[in-house]
Amino acid sequence: MTDRTSVRRARTGFLLVALAVSLAVLATPVAAVSAAGTPEQVAENRSVPSFAVDLRTDGSAAVTVVYAFDLTADGEAAAFEQLRSDGAALAEYENRTTERLRRVANATEAATGRSMRVSAAESTTARDGSTGVVAISAVWQGLAAVDGDRLVVSEPFASGFEPDRPFVVTPPEGYALADSAVDPANATDGRVIWSPGTDLSGFEAAFAPSDRTATADGSEADATTDRPSAGTSPDGSDTDTLAEGSTTSEGAGSTAADGPGFGISLTVAALLVAVLVRRGD
């Protein structure tokens, strides 16, 4: 490994650590959960993982992060309702999020030599009983390396990323985990899950068509997996979408290399403070 490559990896690791720390800042009072798919699909599903990546066959991935607000707490309820009705606040949320994603992605692109960018960033809000949800979704182009019919996910997760919540990767339809440098805690229902606190140093996970996925003894087996369907909205849920005239907004002119959703919690924390200050004026 050249000195330049080492520096690039170190820089990527530093950014990941800094952003991961900022996730912990908002562990209370706003809990963060996430899932792959559109914000609307995620908002409909309350039993979703905290940080998830939905891979596509071209190496891109859909990444969605959802923030859940406890609407029985006055402060969180007020902040959620303000965000829900304030398109400018949501746009600011998207812009700040994109900036943080760009920083990680730029370092990752330099380390891997693979072109990356973020596109189609958007946010949406939903209300389900005593839970308010703000979701942001982005398409991360170039996340996985494409090696024939295999998809390989490594950086930026291999350099200094230690998840404080479950880290979930969902392969494309008909794909399954072929091998992984870091053993997952679970690999069922078409999803591969690494537990919070897992040391992902040297992380590399390869996915291949399920009919060519090798078994533990090295033989090939049909490992077709059942992919989970999009969640169904519980009775009484209320999901705002752009088509319905909600406050969903799309990050205009957002062209950047992308990274995972680390650091977004810090963005939301700042917005919550701003919202509460405005309400107090």
Cα distances (angstroms) measured from residue 274 to each of 44, 68, 163, 270: 27, 18, 28, 6
What mean pLDDT is predicted for residues 120-132? 81
Whole-angstrom distance, CA of residue 36 vs CA of residue 50:
10
Lowest-pLDDT choice from 24-33, 122-131, 203-212: 24-33
Whole-angstrom distance, CA of residue 183 vs CA of residue 220:
19
The predicted structure's pLDDT at residue 73: 92
Cα distances (angstroms) measured from residue 242 to each of 9, 39, 84, 239: 39, 11, 12, 10
Q: Radius of gyration (Cα) for the chain, nearest Å? A: 19
What mean pLDDT is predicted for residues 243-263? 34
| HSE toward the beta carbon, residue 281, CA cutoff 13 A | 6
What mean pLDDT is predicted for residues 94-120? 83
Whether the per-residue pLDDT at 19 is higher than 80: the answer is no
How would residue 30 be classed by pLDDT, with cut points 50, 70 and 90? very low
Whether the per-residue pLDDT at 189 is higher than 50: the answer is yes
Which is more confident, 61 or 135? 61
Whole-angstrom distance, CA of residue 242 vs CA of residue 263:
26
In order, the DSSP letters of the chain are --HHHHHHHHHHHHHHHHHHHHHHHTSSSSEEEE-SS-HHHHHH-SS--SEEEEE-TTS-EEEEEEEEEETTSHHHHHHHHHHHH-HHHHHHHHHHHHHHHHHHHHHHHHHH----EEEEEEEEEEEETTEEEEEEEEEEET-SEEETTEEEEBTBTTTT---SS-EEEEPPTTEEEEEESS--SEEETTEEEE-TT---TT--EEEEEGGG-B-TTS-B-----PPPPPPPPPTT-EE--GGGT-S-EE-TT--B----STTHHHHHHHHHHHHHHHHH-
The DSSP bridge partners found for residue 179 are 206
The predicted structure's pLDDT at residue 147: 94
Whether the per-residue pLDDT at 271 is higher than 90: the answer is no
What mean pLDDT is predicted for residues 246-264? 36
Does residue 121 contact residue 97 with C-beta atoms inside 8 Å? yes
Domain count, the chain: 1
Most confident of 3-7, 17-21, 241-245: 3-7
What mean pLDDT is predicted for residues 114-129? 83
The predicted structure's pLDDT at residue 244: 28
CA 117 from centroid of its chain's CA atoms: 15
Whether the per-residue pLDDT at 226 is higher than 60: the answer is no
Whether the per-residue pLDDT at 141 is higher than 80: the answer is yes
**Token pair of 139, please?**
């398409």
How would residue 273 be classed by pLDDT, with cut points 50, 70 and 90? low
Whether the per-residue pLDDT at 239 is higher than 50: the answer is no
Whole-angstrom distance, CA of residue 19 vs CA of residue 96:
13
Mean pLDDT estimate for the chain: 68
The DSSP bridge partners found for residue 135 are 66, 124
Residue ranges making up the domain that contains 112? 3-226+233-280
What mean pLDDT is predicted for residues 16-22? 40
Which is more confident, 106 or 39? 106
Q: How do 167-170 and 51-55 pair as beta strands?
A: parallel
The predicted structure's pLDDT at residue 57: 96
The predicted structure's pLDDT at residue 114: 93
**Token pair of 208, please?**
């291949």
